[in-house]
Amino acid sequence: MSNPNEEDQAARWNGPSGRAWVEAQEPLDRMFHAFEKLLVDAVVAEAARGVLDVGCGTGATTLAVARQLAPGGGCTGIDISEPMLALARERAERAGIAADFIRADAQDYPFEPASFDMIVSRFGVMFFEDPVRAFANLRRAARPGAALRLAAWRRPQENPFMTAAERAVAPMLPDLPPRRPGAPGQFAFADSHRVREILGDSGWAEVDVSPIDVPCTFSEAHLTAYVTRMGPVGQALAAADERTRARITELVRDALDSYVYGREVRFTAACWMIAARAP
């Protein structure tokens, strides 16, 4: 029997959240390009040939890795969001890049055992309902000695840009869902000790969790749409009336003004680069 929380995640990413990411693909790809480069560099350093991209979304990292591996290598992206995967497939076809995409939950998907020599993820592993089960499943999909490289967010307090919108509108939206430590979501891997336990308990070895602070930028023209469509505020605004939406949009935009430099938005992403190896 499926877990109701897993069903909620599937409904969310095949509904409003998935559509929001599709519509924001361009600024999100620009915003997180530095992480894509870090993961591609790690693939090159490992001389990997068969790579799995977990929580691949609209496919930016999958396509960048596949481009680096061609010819002779291959990259597969897995995600639960059909809207995001539809865009990923379209982008691959448009660019003439051979990449495979699977619509499934990596927590349970029956991968062929020992089929990948590297597993990567750019912010795609924090949503598992049972992360130990998920990473045990990924370990079984990894060949002996395969590398794992994951980018995940550190604490909300270290990422004020990511939480500024909800802090600004909290008085007007008292029903915003709280950020529960360790719960599936953006900051689920904020605690490095918990990350080490998850990977150790799921059978990974040589675990390393290193802090990285990464400068991120995107166009100011996309800022209002980004902060009013994404995250808890975006979910709350979907059901708000026009007057409330206008007021909250104004509050959010004012709260983020300190991150705007001319036509560019700049902030620092406080993250972990997580490394491990299949024994």
**Total count of domains within the chain:** 1
For residue 258, being part of any structural domain is answered with no
For residue 112, being part of any structural domain is answered with yes
For residue 171, being part of any structural domain is answered with no
Q: For position 3, what pLDDT does the model report?
A: 56
Q: Which residues pair with 275 in a beta bridge?
A: 149, 208
Determine the average pLDDT of the residues in 64-87: 93
pLDDT for 5 beyond 70: no
Nearest to 159 by CA among 274, 259, 86, 245: 259
Question: What is d(CA 64, CA 200) in angstroms, rounded to the nearest whole number?
Answer: 29
For residue 248, being part of any structural domain is answered with no
pLDDT for 182 beyond 80: yes
Determine the average pLDDT of the residues in 183-204: 96
Q: What is the pLDDT of residues 42-61, one digit of tens each?
A: 999 999 999 999 999 999 99
154: left (phi over 0), alpha (psi -120 to 50) or beta: beta
For residue 173, being part of any structural domain is answered with no
Q: For position 236, what pLDDT does the model report?
A: 76
Tokens 């790690």: give the residue. 42
For residue 48, being part of any structural domain is answered with yes
For residue 227, being part of any structural domain is answered with no
Q: What is the pLDDT of residues 146-162, one digit of tens each?
A: 999 999 999 999 999 99
Residue 126, domain CATH = 3.40.50.150
Q: For position 234, what pLDDT does the model report?
A: 78
For residue 235, being part of any structural domain is answered with no
